[in-house]
Structure 1
Amino acid sequence: MEKNYITFAILLISCSVISQTKGVGINETDPQQALHLGSSNGTIRVDGLNSTNSTYNGGGTETYPLYVDGNGNLTLEFKPLYNSNGSDALDHATLPGSIVTLPAGDNDGTITGELFNFTIAVNRASILEVKYNVSMDVFSTPAEAVITDRRARRINTFFQVNGVGRKYGHAGKCYTGGSADSETGKLFNTSTSYISLPAAGSYVIRFYGEVSSGITGSTANTGLATCVKFARGNDSLLFRLH
């Protein structure tokens, strides 16, 4: 019995030395990190993340993304910077720029207006994922007269970082009408894009609506009267950092 105690003590001392000099290895005789988990089948099991113990694990044979928080804790919980998650992300009543009007006879037949913006602060270089679904109603005037001239209007949406440089997340629709009974129901522009934020700092993501119509070749002053009212439906937004 005394011999067994001595052998166990020597084993503990040996493990302690390995832990101090190389790290702790589980199924590894030569750990390469502070904690090195060895696995012959390429998988590691954490019971705290299974479907019994985590509400974010849906069970079955599906797989689920694993995240790490600022404290180094592992979790299945998805925490984006912002997620409207089914609620209406944009209230047109609080967005003074949500109406973009192209006057009849406009010189180049195109007008762009800023719809809304969000400020994002990051403490490291990051990739920002942006998903949006923005509604719009198309008329010929701000008084909501319907379009009857059978000529197309193009409504494009996009966003920029700090309002300059590359335009991200382009999405567009065309609309026209031929009588006073033309349908004016809501259209939606939807897009996803990824933006490189090169360093820590504050960035303003500015969303724009661009309306164009009436250009024939290079003929000027042929813009057609168009009024697009944005964000009057159930709009959605998601911002996520990578």
Structure 2
Amino acid sequence: MKKHYIKLLIWFVSTTAFSQVQGVGINEDTPQQALHLGSSSGTIRVDGLNDANSLFNGGGAVTYPLFVDGAGNLTLEFKPIYNSNGSDALDHALLPGSVVTLPAGDNDGVMVGELFNFTIAVNRASILEVKYNVSMDVFLNPAETAISDRRARRVNTFFQVNGAGRKYGQSAKCYTGGSVDSETGKLFNTSTSYITLPAAGSYVIRFYGEVSSGITNSTANTGLATCVKFARGNDSLLFRLH
């Protein structure tokens, strides 16, 4: 009896060691990883992710993206770093740089102001997806006098990493008016961009508003008086790491 017990124990240890080296195969005779799922149809089914068991599966014939969280759990839930999700993302009263004013006779006819910024820390090289929809009102001056000179103003918005280098997510609108009764109203710049974060570390993503007008044949000092007030409407933001 004792000999049989020893033989059985040796066989069990040997089998366990073999399994640890080779992994576990399902429909796969020679597993290449700790768990190797083989399938002649090329599909894998997880009932916990179907439309009956997951709130994030809308059912039907369409497909849904699968995510992995920090603990290694598989989920259909979309979890961005930040998503305003219908609420107003930017309060102009809390953004000291939300008004960008171009004075009449400005030398190059361009004025750039930082509207807001946010810091993101990553532990590996990553790609940051940024979506924005930012509102703006265009006037002649901070007193909100309507533009009536029939000359165009261009308003551009963009992101930069640490305030330098490539301009991401550029979007622009032009505005003009022919009388003091001209419609002002809110315009919106909208864009989606993917920002490369090359290594682990902390990055400051800075968002700018650029106002330009009045340049004719590169003649200096022809800037037209313009005042753009940003973030007065229902603005939206989404940040997501890849």
TM-score normalised according to structure 2 size: 0.93
Counterparts in 2 of 1:1-242, with a 5 A limit?
Answer: 16=16, 18-242=18-242
How far, CA to CA, are the matches of 2:12 and 2:144 in structure 1? 82
Contact 1:134 1:190 in 2 (8 A): yes
Give CA deviations for 1:90-131 in whole Å, capped at 9, x if unaligned: 000000000000000001100000000011111111000111
The secondary structure found in structure 2 opposite 1:156 is strand
Q: Which runs of 4+ in 1 moved over 3 A?
A: 11-18
Q: Structure 1 residue 21: deviation in Å?
A: 2.2
Letter in 2 for 1:223: G
How far, CA to CA, are the matches of 2:156 and 2:138 in structure 1? 12
CA RMSD of aligned residues (A): 1.6
Q: 1:169 to 1:69 in 2, by over 3 A?
A: same
Give CA deviations for 1:182-219 in whole Å, capped at 9, x if unaligned: 00010000011111101111111000000000110111
How far, CA to CA, are the matches of 1:138 and 1:73 in structure 2? 48
Contact 1:99 1:230 in 2 (8 A): yes
**% identical aligned pairs:** 83
Q: 1:31 to 1:195 in 2, by over 3 A?
A: same
Contact 1:129 1:192 in 2 (8 A): yes
How far, CA to CA, are the matches of 2:31 and 2:154 in structure 1? 61
How far, CA to CA, are the matches of 1:57 and 1:18 in structure 2? 39
Q: Which residue does the alignment assign to 1:7?
A: none
Q: 1:67 to 1:232 in 2, by over 3 A?
A: same
How far, CA to CA, are the matches of 1:77 and 1:69 in structure 2? 10
Q: Which runs of 5+ in 2 are unaligned?
A: 1-10
Letter in 1 for 2:57: N
Give CA deviations for 1:37-95 in whole Å, capped at 9, x if unaligned: 01111100000100111100001111000000111110001110111011000000000
The secondary structure found in structure 2 opposite 1:210 is strand
Q: Which runs of 5+ in 1 are unaligned?
A: 1-10
How far, CA to CA, are the matches of 2:214 and 2:223 in structure 1? 5
Q: Structure 1 residue 174: deviation in Å?
A: 0.2
Contact 1:18 1:24 in 2 (8 A): no
Contact 1:87 1:236 in 2 (8 A): yes
The secondary structure found in structure 2 opposite 1:217 is coil
